[in-house]
Amino acid sequence: MKQQQPPKMAFIPAAAVTIPAWEYHAHTIHSDGQTDVGTMVQRAIAAQLQRLVFTEHTEPDMHPRRDWFQRYYADVQRWRQRVEGVLELHVGLEVPIIDFAGQVILSDEIAEQSAFILGAVHAYPGYGWQLQQLEPEQAIDIEFRASMGLLDNRRIDAIAHIGGICQRFVTPFPLELFDEVVRKAVDRGIAVELNPAYHQPLAPYLAICRRHGAWVTPGSNAHGPDDLGLARAQLTQAAGA
């Protein structure tokens, strides 16, 4: 059984006008973040966040120690006890797809201890990070097929930055394909991350999520304390537009 599994209501209905003070995408030195758990927690409190979900990467090349997850889990647990009643903390993971069938880098052991699984398209199946060799049409097709495959994985709770790798490194990802991915996410009962690091401006992406009745999560892709809460702030602005 997952430890402290957030219920479905822990996600935000896209139609919401008031956005909770939540952050669902943050990294620390336990993967590729810039600072430690304590610094992130203290900044989250200063920013008046109410919930902080850490989402450390599972790619093996980010972890020189085999016991990285145990150390990460214990670190968050220590801070959870210190800030109980002030800030709600959760152990989560950002897991990358490895093929078009929805397989991700995620062991049963760490999945069982994680409260939130954020599925992501990172390195492209068959290409890795060699994105410069792709034509725009190829990148769009690969990211779309990988995203649709990811949604067949019943272990993920939310899908991260739809179209984001294509958007950041190759070419804009078409909104009509974002729309198709959102429709499948809704059908599968999977939340959609709205992430200002990849989705700018947020308003058209939120509008698509609203049209399909999606659940959304505010994800700032926070690799340092200054990024915490950016998604919530921009989502609040988009929701009231």
- pLDDT for res 241: 63
For residue 153, pLDDT over 70 is answered with yes
What are the b/e assignments for 134-145, b being 16+ CB within 10 Å? beeebbbebbbe
For residue 16, pLDDT over 70 is answered with yes
Q: How many domains, in total, are found in the chain?
A: 1
Does residue 12 lie in a domain region?
A: no
CA distance 232 to 117: 19
Give the burial class of 180: count Cβ atoms within 10 A of its Cβ; 0-12 exposed, 13-18 middle, 19 or more buried: middle
Could you list the residue range(s) of the whole structural domain that residue 66 is in?
A: 22-225
Residue 99 is encoded by which pair of tokens?
Answer: 């093929």
CATH code at position 76: 3.20.20.140
Does residue 71 lie in a domain region?
A: yes
Does residue 15 lie in a domain region?
A: no
Amino acid symbol at 169:
F
- pLDDT for res 8: 43
- What percentage of the chain exceeds 90 in pLDDT? 94
Does residue 10 lie in a domain region?
A: no
**CB-CB contact of 81 with 18 (8 Å):** no
Give the burial class of 16: count Cβ atoms within 10 A of its Cβ; 0-12 exposed, 13-18 middle, 19 or more buried: middle
Does residue 7 lie in a domain region?
A: no
| Nearest residue to 115 via CA among 213, 223, 11, 232 | 11
Within a 10 A sphere around the Cβ of 77, how many other Cβ atoms?
13
Query: Considering the entire predicted model, what is its pTM?
Result: 0.95
Model confidence pLDDT, tens digit, residues 96-115: 999 999 999 999 999 999 99
**CB-CB contact of 72 with 26 (8 Å):** no
Does residue 61 lie in a domain region?
A: yes
Does residue 69 lie in a domain region?
A: yes
Give the burial class of 197: count Cβ atoms within 10 A of its Cβ; 0-12 exposed, 13-18 middle, 19 or more buried: middle
Interacting residues of 23 by C-beta distance below 8 A, sequence separation 6+:
44, 49, 51, 52, 53, 218, 219, 220, 222, 228, 229, 231, 232
C-alpha torsion 38→44→50→53, nearest 10: -60
For residue 203, pLDDT over 80 is answered with yes
CA distance 106 to 117: 9
Q: Report helix, strand or coil for 25.
A: strand
**CB-CB contact of 156 with 184 (8 Å):** no
CA distance 237 to 166: 25
CA angle 38, 112, 124 (to 5 degrees): 80
CA distance 36 to 44: 13
Interacting residues of 239 by C-beta distance below 8 A, sequence separation 6+:
16, 17, 18, 19, 206
Model confidence pLDDT, tens digit, residues 125-139: 999 999 989 999 999
For residue 1, pLDDT over 70 is answered with no
Does residue 45 lie in a domain region?
A: yes
